[in-house]
Amino acid sequence: MYNKTPMFTRIHSLDNLDQRLQQLINWLFSFLIMVLPFIFCWLSDELFEFNKMLFVYSFTILIGGLYLARMILQKKLLWQRTPLDWPMAFFLLSQIISTIFSLHPRTSLLGYYTRLNGGLLSTFSYIILYYAFINNVDRKHRANFLFATFFSGIFISLYAIFEHFGHSFSCFIIKGSFDVSCWIQEVQTRVFASFGQPNWLAAYNVAL
């Protein structure tokens, strides 16, 4: 008599692997959301946005790769329709056309050279992350990511409040001194935490 046990075992193993990939994607999104606002590196000319974008691109590759692995594993396209599909498709098309006919294609592709943001590459990354989130994070768990974002915003605000009173966590990391001596800017009157500019910090908090 034909034994079906190995087939069921294989299916069960594939299901377990798929669940683990999905859990890993969820964990990577959580880490990205919580940590990204705090990313900066004083060893580069552009301390803040450039390094944040490298972090985003790295996680886009990781999350996008796991998303693709799930589709290969399930042998089907994991795709949910959303109201933003057509607007994003038209926007992406406009960016591709603009890059092709750009006076400076490299900048249009990569973005401004000290930031690596605002070009076609960053647009692709945001769209990949959007669809990876929609198709891998269960609807019932999405509120958790919203709360995680708000908690991150609270901590980054506290980061800035300490700067107002003359204590920068950035300087503590860079020089080991819990003051604002590592900045040439008047950080106490124009706090920016790990965003580089007060208006970027304000824009982040206003959006939240």
Whether the Cβ atoms of residue 174 and residue 165 lie closer than 8 Å to each other: no
Stronger pLDDT, 45 or 55, i.e. the higher one: 55
pTM: 0.88
Whether 197 has a pLDDT exceeding 50, the answer reads yes
Would the pLDDT of 148 be above 60?
yes
What does the pLDDT look like over 149-190, one tens digit per residue?
999 999 999 999 999 999 999 999 999 999 999 998 889 999
Contacts of 133 by beta carbon, 8 Å cutoff, 6+ apart: 29, 145
Task: For residue 98, name the pLDDT band (cuts at 50, 70, 90).
Answer: very high
Tokens of 38: 């705090």
Note the pLDDT tens digit of each residue in 2-36: 455 565 566 667 788 999 999 999 999 999 999 99
